[in-house]
């Protein structure tokens, strides 16, 4: 896509304006490095399109593609020019929280994306003990309603198969409710008080889940109507 203009906005858009490109960059900046990790955050993208977008970003110097040592496949890493897009991506998200949140539809509440974000948001240094298991049951989906996050001192894994481990905290809610709580659209204590979400576990972990779980970086932004 070329605009035939010397304007830097036009030249930047020639690189970033293709469908999915901004979201591929979002996933790279959020720590995704492997192809399947990037696909998890972009569940509707086809492997062909993702390959094309990664190749185009590599050609433009925004991504470095490296062979995984001793394995098949590659990893993808953002370059400095890509990292400089972080405040721009953040600003775009800020704008979306202010002006586009009214466009959310039921089909936008993707459980896979929610669980990926929750996995990234666990503050492992705030958890007690060597391992913490958190179970989620979503009452509004029939296909894979049960999910687990398993956190140790260094990493957090997500799975849909019962790991047969003792569970520390249980969450029961709809996908939309938990998204809205994490995004700051619905206060956690209000959701619990009104039984929109049920949380079972030690009081130290359930009275305020955000002592060990980061909220969305956009959580504190008011809608445009309140500005």
Between CA 56 and CA 17 the distance in angstroms is 12
In this prediction, residue 47 carries a pLDDT of: 96
pLDDT in tens, the chain (227 residues): 789 999 999 999 999 999 999 999 999 999 999 999 999 999 899 999 999 999 999 999 999 999 998 888 899 999 999 999 999 999 999 999 989 888 888 889 999 999 999 999 999 999 999 999 999 999 999 988 999 999 998 899 999 999 999 999 999 999 999 999 999 989 999 999 999 999 999 999 999 999 999 999 999 887 766 76
| Domains of the chain from N-terminus onward | 8-84 (1.10.10.10), 106-211 (3.30.1050.10)
pLDDT of residue 227: 61
Question: Which among 182, 221, 197 is positioned nearest to 97, based on CA atoms?
Answer: 221
Q: In whole angstroms, what is the distance from residue 87 CA to residue 216 CA?
A: 15
Cβ atoms of 1 and 17 closer than 8 Å: yes
């Amino acid at each position: 896509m070329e605009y035939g203009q010397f304007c830097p906005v036009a030249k930047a858009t020639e690189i970033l304006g293709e469908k999915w490109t901004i979201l591929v960059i979002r996933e790279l900046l959020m720590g995704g490095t492997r192809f399947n990790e990037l696909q998890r955050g972009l569940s509707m993208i086809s492997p062909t399109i993702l390959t094309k977008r990664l190749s185009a970003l590599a050609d433009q110097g925004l991504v470095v593609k490296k062979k995984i040592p001793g394995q098949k496949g590659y990893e993808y890493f953002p370059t400095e020019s890509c990292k400089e897009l972080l405040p721009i991506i953040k600003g775009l998200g800020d704008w979306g929280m202010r002006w586009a949140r009214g466009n959310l539809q039921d089909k936008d509440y993707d459980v896979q994306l929610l669980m990926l974000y929750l996995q990234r948001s666990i503050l492992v240094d705030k958890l007690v003990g060597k391992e913490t298991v958190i179970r989620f049951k979503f009452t509004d989906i029939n296909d894979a309603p049960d999910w687990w996050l398993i956190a140790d001192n260094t990493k957090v894994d997500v799975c849909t198969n019962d790991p047969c481990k003792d569970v520390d905290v249980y969450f029961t809610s709809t996908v939309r409710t938990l998204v809205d709580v994490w995004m700051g659209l619905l206060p956690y204590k209000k959701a619990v008080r009104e039984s929109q979400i049920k949380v079972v576990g030690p009081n130290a972990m359930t009275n305020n889940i955000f002592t060990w779980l980061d909220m969305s970086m956009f959580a504190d932004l008011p809608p445009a109507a309140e500005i």
